[in-house]
Structure 1
Amino acid sequence: MTTPEKGGDVLTDERTEEATDYRYDPGDEERFSHYAPKDKIMQAMIEGTPVRALCGKLWVPSRDPKRFPVCPVCKDLYENVVQNDD
């Protein structure tokens, strides 16, 4: 690390923070986060293949699911059917 000499330049600590892109794509206002088996979602994200959600929607996961509300049909099925099977 160098220090400025008297009358020299001022050192600044340049830190870059990774910014999250929260811009929405066209049609995102109609999107939901869906429930599906985690292993299937991971595989779909890696391979770019579609996965079937609990509600029946077939989609390729590509966005941060925290950006969207949970699909009400998936949530209802998970809470009333899937959790009761355990």
Structure 2
Amino acid sequence: MLSDLEVDLDVDLDEELRRLLDDERTVVNHYMTKRAIMRGLVDGTPGRALCGEVFTPSSHGGGEVSDRRAIVCPTCQTIYNTLTKE
């Protein structure tokens, strides 16, 4: 059973997004609180994204940018849009 903030990823993804997520050159960016980002950058403390992914934020964005494709995590995007509705 999914909570109010969890999203069934299989329902929202189209074929193009699935292809991008399967590509190893794709970098997925996540939403997390400013506090979690700063703690990660300053102390190296892992933080939790809106989707539940736990990782340590970095300022370099995951390596060589020129050969990578960056997308926003669809689950984080959906949750963020839900939280920012008026």
TM-score by length of 2: 0.56
Judging by fraction of residues, say which structure has more strand. 2
Q: Kindly state the Cα deviation for residue 43 of structure 1 after the two structures are TM-superposed.
A: 1.2
Amino acid at match of 2:71: P
Contact 2:28–2:72 (CA<8 Å) still a contact in 1? yes
Instruction: Find out whether 1:52 has 2:48 as its counterpart.
Output: yes
Segments of structure 1 that go 5 or more residues without pairing to the other structure are 1-26
Q: Kindly state the Cα deviation for residue 42 of structure 1 after the two structures are TM-superposed.
A: 1.0
Instruction: State percent identity of aligned pairs.
Output: 35
- SS state of the match for residue 32, structure 1? strand
1:64 aligned partner: 61
Which whole-Å CA distance do the structure 1 matches of 2:24 and 2:35 have between them? Answer: 25
Which whole-Å CA distance do the structure 2 matches of 1:28 and 1:37 have between them? Answer: 26
- Structure number with larger C-alpha Rg: 1
Higher relative contact order (CA 8 A, sep 6+): 2
Pairs aligned (count): 57
Alignment CA distance shift 1:78-1:31 (3 Å): same
Aligned-residue CA RMSD in angstroms? 2.3
Segments of structure 2 that go 5 or more residues without pairing to the other structure are 1-22
Which whole-Å CA distance do the structure 1 matches of 2:28 and 2:49 have between them? Answer: 11
Which whole-Å CA distance do the structure 2 matches of 1:78 and 1:29 have between them? Answer: 25
TM-score by length of 1: 0.56
Amino acid at match of 1:74: C
Q: Kindly state the Cα deviation for residue 71 of structure 1 after the two structures are TM-superposed.
A: 0.6
